[in-house]
Amino acid sequence: MKQRLPLMVFLVLLALGPLFLPEFYVTLLNYIGLYSIVALGLVLLTGVGGLTSFGQAAFVGLGAYATGYLTTAHGLSPWIALLVGLGVTAGVALVLGFLTLRLSGHYLPLGTIAWGISLYFLFGNLEFLGGHTGLTGIPVLEFFGLKLNTGREFYYLIWVVLLSFVLATQNLLDSREGRAIRALKGGGLMAESMGVNTARTKTTIFLIAALFACVSGWLYAHLQRFVNPTPFGLHIGIEYLFMAVVGGAAHVWGALVGAGLITILKQWLQDILPKIFGQSGNFEVIFFGIMLILVLQRAREGIWPWLVRLVPVRQGRRTVAEAEALPRREMPAAGTVLLEVKEARKQFGGLVANDNMNLSVKAGEVMALIGPNGAGKSTMFNCISGVDPVTSGEIRFLGERIDTLTSREIARRGMGRTFQHVRLLPTMSVLENVAIGAHLRGSKGVLSASLHLERAEEARLLAEAKRQLERVGLGAHLFDEAGSLPLGQQRVLEIARALSADPCLLLLDEPAAGLRYLEKQALAELLRRLRGEGMGILLVEHDMDFVMGLADRVVVMEFGEKISEGLPEEVQKDPVVLEAYLGGVE
Amino acid sequence: MRIKSLIVALVSAGTVSLAYADITVGVLVSATGPAASLGIPEKNTFALMPTTIAGEKVKYIVLDDASDTTTAVKNTRKLLTEDKVDVVIGSTITPNSLAMVDIAAEAETPMISMAASARIVDPVDAKRRWVFKTPQNDVQMSTAITEHMGNNNVKTVAFIGFSDAYGEGWWQEFSKIAELRKMKMVASERFNRADTSVTGQVLKIMSTNPDAILIAGSGTPAALPQKALKEKGYKGKIYQTHGVANNDFLRVCGKDCEGTLLPAGPVLVAAQLPDSNPVKKSALDYIGKYEKAHGSGSVSTFGAHAWDAGLLLANAVPAALKKGKPGSKEFRAGLRDALEATKNLYAAHGVFNMTPTDHLGLDQRARVMVKIEGGKWVLQK
Amino acid sequence: MDLQIALLLGQDGIVNGAIYALLALALVLVFAVTRVIFIPQGEFVAYGALTLAAFQAGKTPGTLWLLLGAGVLVAFIDSIMAVRAGAPGRLKRIALWDLALPAVVAGLVLWLEPGTLPLAAQVVLALAIVVPLGPMVYRLAYQPLAEASVLVLLIVSVAVHLALVGLGLLFFGAEGSRTTPFSEAQFALGTLTVNGQTLWVLGASAVLIIALYQFFGRTLYGKALRATAINRVGARLMGISNTMAGKLSFTLAAGIGAFSGILIAPITTVYYDTGFLVGLKGFVAAIIAGLVSYPLAAAGAILVGLLESFSSFWASAFKEVIVFTLIIPVLVWRSLTSHHVEEEE
């Protein structure tokens, strides 16, 4: 309960605020609330999802103009106008998202600048929207017969909306879909390999952010009762982004802190600066710019993380509830051919990384792929798992051709993998990282996550993640930040993550690297047990003792091609292999 | 999150409450952003205004709305609820003024706008009861231009204006009146303040071969289409609007603006007015004060709109003081009534005669046609 | 539309495009070396043009005081750092570049009455005031954040832009200015009339682009910048300081920006806030080039210029809508054709 205390105090203050605050502070809080709603969308989109948008102000405009136009020109109820506005915004966001979200890297922010400007000028040049001059006479909102005439009445509407959005966003982030969203920034490739449809996830958060902005615009129009294009221009779009970043773009409360701080700061500068410099200058914007630079130089992650540090350490969730185990996949009988690679060739421009590769893995065996550095083993892994498809040749998994499928679809068919260079989300807990692996074993969507209607499924997913972590020996680290583990254990974490997807074929890329002797023993023991359960394992590893003690069969690669295949003891004696490893004895 | 509430509390504590006996005038100008060239002279003008009216101290609180409606509304609310002003003067531009109307009416506080559109005060309804304005309506200025065009046998007119509320307001009024006068509008183009080239628009206009062209922009940006027209060899008449009436425009436009015609408030050519013109004295008074503070040639007609708002106020205060003390509801209502009763007030831009249905109160005397000759504004008789 | 009009529009588009091209090159350069999306580039355009205009109006430009102030601030911070780092040897350099140089420039400006000098001398003086602001801005705003993410650097850029625009309004006022042309000549080219300043813009842009090309290909500093652009860590290990590379690229960007402003000031009116949209269009061009390719950036700039010119003929009210909407498909195309492996920051 203690950790909730600051929140409770805040809520009580908010609720009582209008009763004792002077009128103007209620007005300010109203604007802060409106801005926070937009900034909250940006937290989700930019701070968490890593997609930068300068164009949110345009979505605010869509919401405001929808109600402005429909209520004044057609006399519709604002509530119907809200629905229409949300519909229009969703439509526009989907089209823009379809076009611009596929823009990679820095193309996206520019794309958002482009349509931000376009929509702004469109608002200004459409006569039925009042042109540049604007629409007047937007009606007062009525709420069950209660007219929201004054700022104090409006205040409660704005803040109830905002707080429920905050709650929904928080719920969403703490869910299966939320983990997928959090994986977008810096973990997209990994997430795809775990079965997350990242394109869809991106579109989802883009849509949510746009709808938040639209609601803010609807509220704005009825608070202001006047709409014209200037509040929806690019400069304002930039300001929304400022708010999110200054507040702390990766935290939901950062949106409120940022919006509050910037709004109050501007107001305060406007009062204080003329007293210092006299009336003649316009110093606000200069000060504002310089202050922002200083904030970013001193607190790059924004104000919120810094504020949190001032409050005594908060306890995160420390237990994982027991829950019914998730249903498991039917394992193929031992000896069934799981994976078959035929004549695979991978070419990067003129460089041939793999050629003429053939190999197969059966259920219940450990197949090791070895070879000197640069032999093309990891490339082969990426071809098999669909991360980077083959140029030509055929790959079959459980009898089905998969060389044209995406990594996501392959994961769904029961192939799990780890990466040579560890790919995990360092600031997320060990448990949550592993739970991403179980993504495909849940089905509840964004809406039920926001309302926390998927707690039963979530509990089962987390329990599964915990089970797998205990199995690989990381049971003591469930709530540590993944990035704080030593590298060797991070690799083991990746195994747990792959296992929680309940695969029948496991691709392990150098799992023993960085482990100590006893840890290697334990890992070998685990792999044997998995083999015993009927799982097929394809292993790339440099530690020969480890490989030879474990593998049933071995394939040796050099220069992208297979040079030898057979039982471990046969391969060890093969002169071609010795030549490759030890260099020719002239 | 307590911190935020704490900040709010600190901020509120930091604002010193005002002595309530003074008359408090809240001023909102667009001193930054796209309308800055209009807002800055207005802002400067408030520094020249009297600090006492009818024996009462006057306190001016000048805020900037950055040419943005949200800021305008926020700051208006601040002036009304925090500073408890007796009257709001502002804002510089039409959208901001329109957005402020509701708030001023709600607070039952008179407001004097410095923006052009007639929509701000017309029709005078329950809300606009509280709203007055000083600049001539676009209609009045448009009429002056069309009259001049009619007298000079102009049959076809092309229009190029700012892609904002200023250009839009002009297009709406001007095209209406021009049609009434049987002139044909052959082209309507837009450009942005910050555009570096208007070649496209100018070529389009010239391809329609109009007798005259009206450029509706304010300040130096309005020079760009004119220079482009001259460069491309346009020989017809070019009209500008009163928005260009400052010396910076002449400086930038140079010889390309020779012979350009525009309607303007008489303050622009005050010295050339006949002595019999009642506006001459009040206009020269303003010019003298402004140029003393900001250097010769620095005056603009926009500052004079602010000055006129101040004159309206000074004229209305004595009557309002009889109704109640400054800071009281009665005083504000009295001020409104007194403003509406303004009669024969000689100001920098004309003579104000307000009525319950006319909250502008300017007549034909508020505009003259001016020609640019030899880099000077020359009154056309 | 007839051929004559199409030609005129084409000419207009190319002249505007040439300016966008210069800015695009500077933006590509700065981004490649420092990962900063240099939105304040536009302010250097305005500062360059308006500083020159102030000379011609017989005024002392406010940018001079900014130069002195920024110099003192940089010197102050760097001196503290140098003393703390136990490297007092750096002090002499600091005093020379951050204090002496601005002081000399200030002395010249105040003593010479630049308005009376020949145009070339005025241009040199204007550049001497504006260009050193580039590395100073880098030192004050970006250097402490050199390792931050692109997003943080982008936000800093916007903040710097705001501060510089505010200062611009303070220094130069809201009204615009023009400067005297480099050349009053007019040439007839078939049915087209081309004026001298247009040729100056095109010529100077071409020369600058070629000069940059030579700079990167031939000179040691140019190669150092390229090395940093390709591999920051590697370049540092080879003894190329990222700070040096950052300052150098900002110097070049400021120089290109200011000179672009000086080039366009005779043909269009420049305002304190002109730079933003101009810079943005240069930015669009740079993005078309994927922020890496110089020739493509130049081509993209011409494309933007032409698009703008023709759309202002067809539907001037919707010009920006057209220009910025048509950019989106171009971006999609760029994004699809450029091979892209996931960015891991």
Q: Chain A residues with CB inside 8 Å of B216's CB? A: none
Look at residue C200 in the predicted model and tell me its pLDDT.
87
ipTM: 0.86
- Across-strand partners of C270? C177
CA distance C215 to C209: 10
From the list C5, C176, C276, the residue facing B252 with the nearest CB is C176
Burial environment of residue A310 by CB neighbours within 10 A (0 to 12, 13 to 18, 19 or more): exposed
Residues facing residue B262 across a β-bridge: B370
**What is the DSSP pairing of strand C186-189 with strand A351-362?**
unpaired
Q: Is the separation of the CB atoms in C275 and C45 below 8 Å?
A: yes
Domains of chain B: 2-136+288-366 (3.40.50.2300), 138-264 (3.40.50.2300)
Measured CA distances, A420 to A48, A551, B339, C162 (Å): 25, 19, 80, 45
Of A99, A114, A297, the CB nearest to C144: A297
Reported pTM: 0.89
Answer whether B178's CB lies under 8 Å from B185's CB. Answer: yes
Mean pLDDT of chain B, nearest integer: 88
Measured CA to CA, the distance from residue A487 to residue A237 in angstroms comes to 41
Give the mean pLDDT of A522-526: 90
Residues 6+ away with beta carbon under 8 Å from C295: C289
Alpha helix segments (H runs only) across A74-175: 78-100, 107-125, 151-173
Stretch A109-130: mean pLDDT, rounded?
Answer: 86
CA distance B170 to chain C (A): 15
List the chains bordering chain A where 3 or more Cβ pairs fall under 8 Å. B, C
Chain B residues whose beta carbon lies within 8 Å of the beta carbon of residue C267: 196
CA distance B158 to chain A (A): 19
Shortest distance between the Cα of B341 and any Cα of chain A, in A, equals 27
Contact A133 B94 (CB under 8 A): yes
**Angstroms from B268 CA to nearest CA on chain C:** 18
Of A132, A231, A307, the CB nearest to B3: A307
The residue whose two tokens read 């490297």 is C87
Which residues of chain B lie closer than 8 angstroms to A230, CB-CB? 67-70, 95
pLDDT band at A102 (very low <50, low <70, confident <90, very high): confident
Q: What is the DSSP letter of A404?
A: T
Chain B partners within 8 Å of A256 (Cβ): 1, 4
Cα Rg, chain A, nearest whole Å: 28
pLDDT at residue A279 greater than cutoff 70: no
Contact residues on chain B for C166, CB-CB shorter than 8 A: 32
- Judged by a CB distance cut-off of 8 A, whether residue B260 touches chain C is no
Per-residue pLDDT at B16 exceeds 50: no
pLDDT tens digits for B39-72? Answer: 989 999 998 999 998 888 999 999 888 888 999 9
Contact A283 C150 (CB under 8 A): no
pLDDT grade, residue B2 (50/70/90)? Answer: very low
Distance from CA of B345 to the nearest CA of A (A): 29
Q: How far apart are CA A227 and CA C22, in angstroms?
A: 39
* CA distances, A84 to each of A56, A64, A191, A251 (Å): 18, 11, 35, 30
Mean of pLDDT values over A497-504: 92
Q: What is the DSSP string of C203-249?
A: HHHHHHHHHHHHHHHHSHHHHHHHHHHH-HHHHHHTT--HHHHHHHH
How does pLDDT run across B248-284, given as a tens digit for each residue?
899 888 888 999 999 999 999 999 999 988 899 999 9
- Give A 255-294 residues with CB within 8 A of chain C: 281-286, 288-290, 292-293
Put simply, the answer to whether C332 touches A99 (Cβ < 8 Å) is: yes
Q: Where is pLDDT greater, at A431 or A586?
A: A431
Q: How far apart are CA A281 and CA B47, in angstroms?
A: 13
Q: Lowest-pLDDT range, A576-580, B116-120, B210-214, C247-251?
A: A576-580
Alpha helices, DSSP H, located in chain C: 3-34, 41-56, 62-84, 90-94, 101-112, 119-130, 133-137, 150-172, 196-218, 220-230, 232-237, 242-264, 274-288, 294-314, 319-337
Per-residue pLDDT, B354 = 93
How confident is the model over B171-202, as pLDDT tens digits?
A: 999 999 999 999 999 999 999 888 888 999 99
CB A471, CB A493: distance < 8 Å:
no
Distance between B72 CA and the closest CA of chain C, angstroms: 19
3-state secondary structure (DSSP) of residue B237: strand
Residue A314 — very low, low, confident or very high, per pLDDT cuts 50/70/90? low
Residue B11 pLDDT exceeds 60 = no
Please list every residue in chain B whose beta carbon sits closer than 8 Å to the beta carbon of residue C164. Answer: none
Q: Domain spans of chain C? A: 3-337
Strand B376-379 relative to strand B156-162, pairing: unpaired
Residue A209 pLDDT: 96
3-state secondary structure B100-161: HHHHHHHCCCCEEECCCCHHHCCCCCCCHHHEEECCCCHHHHHHHHHHHHHHCCCCEEEEEE
Is C342's CB within 8 Å of A188's CB? Answer: yes
**Which among A32, A53, A31, A10 has a CA at the least distance from the CA of A245?**
A53
For residue range A220-252, what is the model confidence (pLDDT) as tens digits? 999 988 999 999 988 899 889 889 988 888 889
Q: What size, in residues, is chain B?
A: 381
Closest CA to B81 of B61, B100, B57, B107: B107
Q: Please give the single-letter amino acid code of residue A152.
A: R
All residues at 6 or more sequence positions from C171 whose CB lies less than 8 Å from its CB, including other chains = C50, C61, C62, C63, C66, C272
Indicate whether A125 pLDDT > 80. yes
A118 touching chain C per CB within 8 A = yes
Rounded distance between C-alpha atoms, residue B37 and residue A75, angstroms: 39
- What is the spatial distance between Cα B333 and Cα B351, in angstroms, rounded to a whole number? 23
Tens of each residue's pLDDT in chain C, 345 residues: 688 888 889 988 998 899 898 888 888 888 888 888 888 999 999 999 999 999 998 888 999 999 999 999 999 998 888 888 887 777 888 888 888 889 998 998 888 888 888 889 999 999 999 999 999 999 999 999 888 887 788 888 988 998 999 899 888 888 888 888 887 777 777 777 778 888 888 898 889 888 888 888 788 888 888 788 777 777 777 777 888 888 999 999 999 999 999 999 988 899 988 888 888 888 888 877 776 777 788 888 898 899 999 999 988 888 888 888 877 777 777 767 654 444 433
Q: Do A102 and C335 touch (CB under 8 A)?
A: yes
Candidates C268, C273, C311, partner chain B, best to mutate (most B CBs within 10 A): C268
Helix (H) or strand (E) holding B338: helix B329-340
The whole-number pLDDT of residue B17 equals 41
Verify whether the Cβ–Cβ distance B64 to A284 is below 8 Å. Answer: yes
Q: Cβ contact (<8 Å) for A107 and C334? A: yes
Which residue has 């003929």 as its token pair? C313
- CB within 8 Å: C324 and A114: yes
The predicted-structure confidence for B219-252, as pLDDT tens digits, reads as follows 889 999 999 999 888 989 999 998 898 888 998 8
- All partners of chain B with 3 or more CB pairs under 8 angstroms: A, C
The residue count of chain C comes to: 345
CB contact under 8 A, B11 and A125: no
Buried b or exposed e, range B139-170, using 16+ CB within 10 angstroms: bbbbbbbbebbeeeebebbbbbbbbbbbbbbb
**Which pLDDT does position C152 carry in this prediction?**
81
The B23-29 sheet, strands edge to edge:
B52-53, B56-64, B23-29, B87-90, B111-113, B131-133
How far, CA to CA in Å, does B101 sit from each of B59, B91, B173?
22, 10, 21
Residues in chain A with CB shorter than 8 Å from the CB of C319 are 121
* Shortest alpha-carbon distance between residue C330 and chain A (Å): 10
State the smallest CA–CA distance between residue B329 and chain C in angstroms: 38
Cis status of the peptide bond prior to B210, with omega within 30 of 0? no
Contact residues for B76 (Cβ-Cβ < 8 A; gap 6+): B26, B28, B88, B90, B100, B103, B104
What is the interface size between B and C, counted as CB pairs within 8 Å?
104
Residues of chain A with C-beta less than 8 angstroms from the C-beta of B81: 22-24, 27
Rounded CA gap, C271 and C278, in Å?
Answer: 11
- A92: pLDDT confidence band, cut at 50, 70 and 90? very high
Distances (CA, A) of C309 to B223, C6, C296: 19, 10, 20
Backbone angles phi, psi at A399, to 5 degrees: 85, -10
Helix (H) or strand (E) holding A505: strand A505-509
Phi/psi for C169 (5° steps) reads -65, -40
Q: How confident is the model at residue A315 (pLDDT cuts 50, 70, 90)?
A: low
Q: Taking a contact as any Cβ pair under 8 Å apart, which residues of chain A between 260 and 279 contact chain B? A: 260-261, 264, 267-268, 270-271, 274, 279
pLDDT in tens, B96-147: 999 999 899 989 999 999 998 888 998 899 889 999 999 998 888 999 999 9
Which region holds residue A336: left if phi is over 0, alpha if psi is between -120 and 50, else beta?
beta
Q: Is B191 on the interface with C (CB under 8 A)?
A: yes
> Looking at CA atoms only, how far is residue C158 from chain A in angstroms?
8
How many whole angstroms separate alpha carbon B366 and alpha carbon C231? 68
Amino acid, single-letter form, for residue A422:
V
Closest residue of chain A to B107, computed from CA coordinates: A150
On the 0-12 / 13-18 / 19+ scale of CB atoms within 10 A, C326 is middle
Going by C-alpha positions, the residue among A173, A158, A89, A36 that lies closest to residue A450 is: A173
Question: pLDDT band at A324, cuts 50/70/90?
Answer: confident
